[in-house]
Chains A and B, each alone.
Chain A
């Protein structure tokens, strides 16, 4: 992410504006929604160590199964000790545009350097659980089905021994298709305050000639882990026998698990900072082989390492395959990778005109349809990791705007610098973000973590409204959360793929209800490829509603919906 990994890539020339109106407008309603507690994360004016700089993620989670998205926000601490109020926070959705902080009541008060969160029902009891990564001990919170959670890390066999690890990304993934969610955890660097170099100590501790926090280059890389769910609430570390341990050392960050080669088995993509990103392909026998470089998602188009941090997943070109979007450091373009359906990717960054933007250090991202026109757009959040730099070099501010690319429907995107509203243009130093429909109004809103500020909740006021449809999947033989399911929605002669994943963006988890904008289409046909291999087809489903589908059962009543 940092230091010398900046590539100074030339931005692509901006094409002539299309002149088309963009109907989604984003307004930050966090304050009026009651999301007022700042996300404490390291120093405000200076970051001495990289631990303070990377920040954390957030999640949309319906923890009480009322059909309304609640919010879970991670938090860090400070080198000198946690200030009052520094904790992860759970906010219950009041179904009126506001939220109530239920952290303490839910038993989720926790202080530390939290990084990533992934949401999934690991014990198949019908309630989503939480796994949170830390610099230090990661934590598994079991949802007790009564509005409270219990830290079951120890009972689950997930307590770590030895020096503190830097848990980064995580993903629930049923890699062996036994119906129980297993757990993949990426680790960033091996770090200790005792041995960490200080700003200016070496070449990896300077940026633009200014001493800054060191790393990740120059620091030893982390080791990624795979835990198999034993089906009894416990896990077994299978990192070695699964082949995960054989991967090259890398500074692992966000994890996305999905079936990229469409063979019915989930694969695992890890965005890596300053090292090649990793793509673990599932061998169907409990093992993986790492093929990121060969499959075209590990390096830049010219074969160079990039600072991979956040990941968006979606089908930007409507070919029915899951593409990837990866965010990078300032001075580099983000990367757009087109999947050929066999799990091999071509970098389309410049061809898709996404290469026009290199001005920001970029984090959480989504490839999501924000204006319901049927074409997934791209939104990512940004923010520098060096608050001390802007005092000497004002051209590198700490707080920077969000970046919105509208999908033009012809394989290219157009950056909308001002058309997305104040929620897009207002600068923050943001990290994780999650996409979901918190107000159940049929468009996608955005929850964003801001460093040492309250979060942003960007309400999407889409006007005029276009048609849409959402799918909530419930596994029966498959894991209950249906994580790993791939859905193809056919509408108006087009097809779009999406997948149920437990982490994407940056260390964050989106609304598990898959949201498809369908433009002018009134109904859709749907293919559901369940995690356990079952393929089900549903025809002529009418638009503008949430459709809940239970595996082998079919469409069942949805919870919490207005209509």
Chain B
């Protein structure tokens, strides 16, 4: 049930528009132009600059433009005057002409910082990628410009380039510290890059800045949970758990308690959340997941029944109940639930996979029958990677001869599954097994490595990789893989023990405890 910190944190990139960053930027730009004009010591131009600056400060943009028009007829290539013109247009809200003025200044003086900053500002505000080369130009001239770093970071984050964003956020210094929204984006990017501990630090700053902000506290707890610091997450959430706790907090607390092996409190939180908001479907689904993990299938079914009374058209609830029925070997009920889920929400595309899984479970002693059902589902959902994987796995369980057509069909199916969904670890594993069986050990090793990219602790992938490397004679890597495999085994054994530690039961009234 534990989702990633990312899943828990809702950050609107549009909220990080850096308005306040830009406010200070304009004032700075104006000062820079004045200082440079004075430094040039040209008395006529200096006089113009003084006049224009005064007009701009009084927000007399038309007056400033009139003065500049005359001066620019005399000195059309003067970048300082063009920048002042851009500022004046900006003040009027005429961003198109403002940008044209900055661009003209840059044509005459490509390294002129005020023009670069003015143009970058406008492009940034417009959300244009053209801001990036301008900001990079600024940073070449002034590498420690924290505003440019902050703007570049925000732009990169918006485009999904977290690696670049994190690099520039780190250089943004105080500019970032003053901007909670930007800081949150920084934290989210760190999470995306799997730098969980650094992300925790960022979200801790946010909580320190606003200790009473429930959202900031939930964000931090979610990130701590994702980073594996479940006790810290609990400590973070504790202040929110006294009194009238919000549903979102209870929902997250359930995750946190479960991660702390405190299933009774996890269940208590979920039940409280359901009482507060009985129509929130994910709460029932999470309850079912806890029930499943603790092999308390009937308790999960009972809770989902309650949810379905209130939400009779919730496809997710039927799907979840169907999965529980599969575990209870009540295949007819499972089949009915999967069909209902499909009927209610054909777009979710999960029920075909669920039907396939059901077919495999139901026909353990008859793989041909299971295959027929999976193929029927594939006819309906030809792009469902899980179904292609399932077909490959069922064929593999039959142990066909590597020279057989059935083996070829299995390997094709596995290949198609990984093509459709490269992140499907199980499909890479089954493909690796086919390659091992056919003696194509280098290909097997490659598939194992792909599986391990998404699931670094996958025991099957690690073991198959050891076998493939042994058979290819490339044994240098094996000692390290054996250590990883041993660690993965220990972790899995511990997790299995934790899952079995607590059982949910159904009380006579029918509610799960």
Contact = CB atoms under 8 A, between A and B. Distances in A.
B61 to A, nearest CB: 72
B458 to A, nearest CB: 8
B497 interface: yes
Interface residues of A, number: 30
Given A276-B489, A294-B466, A294-B478, A302 B365 contact: no
B496 interface: yes
Interface string A297-311: 001011111000000
A346 B68 CA distance: 85
Contacts of A344: 470
A462 interface: no
A12 interface: yes
A299 B493 CA distance: 14
A58 B477 CA distance: 43
Interface string B345-366: 0000000000000000000111
A13 B462 contact: no
Contacts of A304: 459-460
A209 B500 CA distance: 10
A248 B489 CA distance: 12
Nearest to A293: B482
Contacts of B399: 12, 350-351, 353, 355
Contact of A13 (B367, B482, B496): B367
A248 B486 contact: yes
Interface in A6-46: 10-14
Contacts of A217: 493, 497
A4 interface: yes
Contacts of B496: 4
A395 to B, nearest CB: 11
A4 B294 CA distance: 12
Please classify the interface of chain B as helix (H, G, I), strand (E, B), loop, or mixed, using the class held by over half of its residues. Answer: helix
Interface residues of B, number: 35
Contacts of A10: 364, 397
B489 to A, nearest CB: 6
Nearest to B437: A351
B503 A209 contact: yes
Contacts of A248: 486
B463 A294 contact: no
A213 to B, nearest CB: 16
Interface in A281-319: 293-296, 299, 301-305
Interface string A201-237: 0111010010000000110000000000000000000
B464 A303 contact: yes
B501 A12 contact: no
Interface string B260-291: 00000000000000000000000000000000
Interface string A502-534: 000000000000000000000000000000000
Interface string A346-358: 0000110101000
B463 A303 contact: yes
Contact of A293 (B398, B466, B497, B503): B466
Contacts of A351: 399, 437
B467 interface: yes
Interface string B47-91: 000000000000000000000000000000000000000000000
Contacts of A4: 496-497, 500
9 contacts: A11-B365, A14-B365, A203-B501, A218-B497, A302-B464, A303-B464, A303-B485, A305-B489, A350-B398
Interface of B: 295, 364-368, 397-399, 429, 433, 437, 459-464, 466-467, 470, 475, 478, 482, 485-486, 489, 493, 496-501, 503
